Amino acid sequence: MAPDSTLTLTRPDDWHLHLRDGAMLAHVVPLTARTFSRAIVMPNLDTPVTTTYSALAYRERILAALPHGTPFEPLMTLYLTDETTPDEVRRAKDSGQVHGVKYYPAGATTNSAFGVSNLKRCWPVLETMQAIGLPLLVHGEVTDPAVDLFDREKVFIDEQLIPLRAAFPALRVVFEHITTESAVQYVRDGARRDLLLAATITAHHLLYNRNALFQGGIRPHYYCRPILKRERHRRALLEAATSGNPRFFLGTDSAPHTRHAKESACGCAGCFTALNAMELYAEAFDSVGAIGRLEGFASFFGADFYGLPRNREKITLIRCNWTVPQELDLGGDTLVPLRAGETMAWKYID
């Protein structure tokens, strides 16, 4: 095997992950824990995680779903609503287990119906978060149906993010799963300030543009929110991810839905990448000759932003072709991973 066929790097963390609950949780969490040491767990369950109490209970359910002895640390988040109080976010911070508060504009994605209708209502909460150093994690899309779906991230920056950051200049913000060159530019240009603003980038947004949705017919497993964009946006994301700028780090946004919920007349949004996440990222970085920059993006910058220690253990990927399974069994239903039935060029070795 040629020397460049093996890649050893510090064990990565996933800074944006959906684990769901119950039977689905039990099926998907081992896949993430196999590769990643920690993950920021999104709070958009059917009943959203809006209190510290429910976040800690959810954390226990995640730990209980892990195979015995798996050293995986779920990093919990709260779901911001119009009713969230300053006391609640203080309690969250004091728990030591809650690492951010997620802002979903009402209706932006899966289970976001409880989201914030008007951010101004949350100003006392944001003020507290700024004071105690608890990051706000934003789903950066406006939900106004009059705004074209492909423009919603750009409009969100102009209408919400810029005023928000002007009002709370010391609030730590993660612009989640960015998809456009506007977002790349906004985060990069904010980099002159202290490390207060960062962005996560998914593997699928690094590898695919919106053509993937329509290749030979409609392809529901490539449908996610924010939706895939034009090729020039994908290129801007890839450039940002591989630039070595610590404001950009890994967040898979892996989001499991059953096959029948995806392959339907009104299919759910979300790509399931927990099965092959690091292999997908390796392929993206490799495509521009930047595999050497993967470790910072996947293993260092997120931990630095969240003020957590970097992992010390190592993992190995090898360059080797393998075929992604067509589906994963959920016991009665199935889950289709991204790239199902297709070939991968890198393989994670346990």
Nearest to Zn ion of 119, 271 (CB atom): 271
Nearest to Zn ion of 141, 253 (CB atom): 253
Q: Minimal CB distance to Zn ion: which residue?
A: 253
CB of 139 to Zn ion, least distance (A): 7
CB of 176 to Zn ion, least distance (A): 6
CB of 255 to Zn ion, least distance (A): 6
CB of 347 to Zn ion, least distance (A): 26
Cβ(228)–Cβ(253) below 8 Å: no
DSSP β-bridge partners for residue 105: 116
Angstrom CA distances, 227 to 71, 86, 114, 219, 253, stand at 33, 33, 21, 13, 12
CA separation for the pair 183, 221 (Å, rounded): 24
CA separation for the pair 254, 203 (Å, rounded): 9
Look up residue 116 and give its two tokens.
């914030």
The footprint of Zn ion (CB under 5 A) covers 253
CA separation for the pair 92, 115 (Å, rounded): 18
List the catalytic residue out of 253, 286, 304, 333.
253
Q: What does residue 199 show for φ and ψ, rounded to 5 degrees?
A: -140, 145
Q: Which of 146, 110, 117 is nearest to 225 (CA)?
A: 110
CB of 86 to Zn ion, least distance (A): 25
Angstrom CA distances, 159 to 143, 171, 328, stand at 12, 17, 41
CA separation for the pair 79, 33 (Å, rounded): 23
Residue 82: active-site member: no
CA separation for the pair 185, 140 (Å, rounded): 14
Q: Which residues are catalytic?
A: 253
